Amino acid sequence: MESTIKAAEIVHAGKNIRAALAEEGVELKRVHFLIRQVIRQRLDKGRIAAAAELAEQLGDPEDRAGAFLEIAKAQVEAGEKDAARKSLAKALADAERIAAYRAKQDAAAGPEGPDTRYRSRLDSVMSRTYWAAVSIRAKLRDLDAARKLILKAANSKLKPADWDRALDEPEVRTGWSSALVEAGREAEALKLAKGADGKWRPKMRVLVAWLLASRGQTKQIEQLIADVTQSYETFIFHKVFAHIYNFCTVEMSSIYMDVLKDRLYCDAADSQSRRSAQTAMHKILDTLIKLLAPVLVHTAEEAWAAMKHKSQDVESVHFALIPETNPDDRSRALSNEDGWKAMMDLRTHALGKLEDLRKDQIIGSNQEASVKIVTDNEDWLSIDTDMFASLCIVSEVRIEKGDSFEISADKCKHNKCDRCWNYWPSVGTIESHPDLCQRCADVISS
């Protein structure tokens, strides 16, 4: 602390901090640390330009990259977009220097290979730099640049663990998804979400499930708007009712709401999964009220009055415009390639089995069941079992390769989580929360 004050004094006196501290015999590593401290103090006080000036005195690429990322973040928040882009370029140039250094070290390594500890340190510095940069690019809405960075980080030799660790940061996850989703490149996002072994990266599951669900939803709602508009235009009003009724009972009530419930009630309040579920719900509510307004005049008006964050700033829903289909959304909507249809087909089979179990009173709810599927259908074999389990709201799914199609379900052997009522293997294994599953324990303790 004392040396931080001293460093600040030196800076205040207008001296070159590096030279001055070196004069006093302070070690170079410590000098860098002190400069970083003073930079942070300046950022805290909103003196961004002064902080950037000081960062130029840092010699070590790792320190420089870190400092310029912090500065870029502050500049984004202050609305200084161009300055932020310049700082980001500096941080990334330093990351390149680290990458080049790493390659040189690898080439010079002896027969026992490179120094793994040092190497993994360099890797994690690069990971951090890339991912922080992605998040800043996403905030700047430089989506193309963000995408290139993501691909670079994903294609570089970084270990999967680094990638996963980077994704621990909610900001990076949000940056990653918003960059790709807003650019309409979900297919790419889905590809990146898989590891070299073709399996979903664990941290990506929630996000991918949401991507698939929201795209499935986008397709359904776009279809609804098209159908209802056509029925109004041709004056076939009973079809307006039929389309909306079917959408509410089939798409919403029996599939989407069921799957979303767990996320809305039990995931962390500000988690990506819960927030995106809320966004989707808001869009659906807005569309439904507007489509119903011409035929359900008073109820639609009351619902509109109660709705927060209206999509149009009008006093009455009857001044609002009927939603139009968005051609971009339609082309972005889910295609069968993503395996959504295969998953929904298999779901129909699984739900039939579960219905039988409920009838025989072996289980009370689907959450108590585990499902085993044997099949030779390649589409079904490639389904992610965790995602499929959440789609059927069962506790466990196993899919195995076999000659003929067989599906069986049984009461699962795991304990019930007191908070979310799911039967998961993690229940009972957490010392501090013996009655909770891992997800709920995490939510409670954060």
| Closest distance to Zn ion from the beta carbon of 444 (Å) | 9
| Closest distance to Zn ion from the beta carbon of 61 (Å) | 44
- Does the footprint of Zn ion cover residue 88 (CB under 5 A)? no
Stretch binding Zn ion (CB under 5 A), from 49-57, 93-101, 389-397, 416-424: 416-424
Stretch binding Zn ion (CB under 5 A), from 33-41, 246-254, 310-318, 418-426: 418-426
Stretch binding Zn ion (CB under 5 A), from 13-21, 326-334, 350-358, 438-446: 438-446
Q: Which helix (H) or strand (E) holds 400?
A: strand 396-401
| Closest distance to Zn ion from the beta carbon of 90 (Å) | 45
- Does the footprint of Zn ion cover residue 440 (CB under 5 A)? yes
* CB of 153 or CB of 363, closer to Zn ion: 363
| Closest distance to Zn ion from the beta carbon of 439 (Å) | 6
* CB of 34 or CB of 437, closer to Zn ion: 437
| Closest distance to Zn ion from the beta carbon of 263 (Å) | 12
Binding-site member from 38, 39, 417, 443 for Zn ion (CB under 5 A)? 417
- Does the footprint of Zn ion cover residue 420 (CB under 5 A)? yes
- Provide the sign of the torsion angle of the four alpha carbons 187, 191, 194, 199, taken in this order: positive
Contact code string over 376-415 relative to Zn ion, x by CB under 5 A:
----------------------------------------
Binding-site member from 180, 190, 354, 437 for Zn ion (CB under 5 A)? 437
| Closest distance to Zn ion from the beta carbon of 440 (Å) | 3
| Closest distance to Zn ion from the beta carbon of 260 (Å) | 16
- Does the footprint of Zn ion cover residue 42 (CB under 5 A)? no
Binding-site member from 342, 419, 433, 443 for Zn ion (CB under 5 A)? 419
* CB of 140 or CB of 369, closer to Zn ion: 369
Contacts of 262 (CB under 8 A, 6+ apart): 390, 393, 420, 422
Rounded to 5 degrees, φ, ψ at 68 are -70, -30
- Does the footprint of Zn ion cover residue 371 (CB under 5 A)? no
* CB of 301 or CB of 435, closer to Zn ion: 435
- Chain residues that interact with Zn ion, rule: CB under 5 A: 417, 419-420, 437, 440
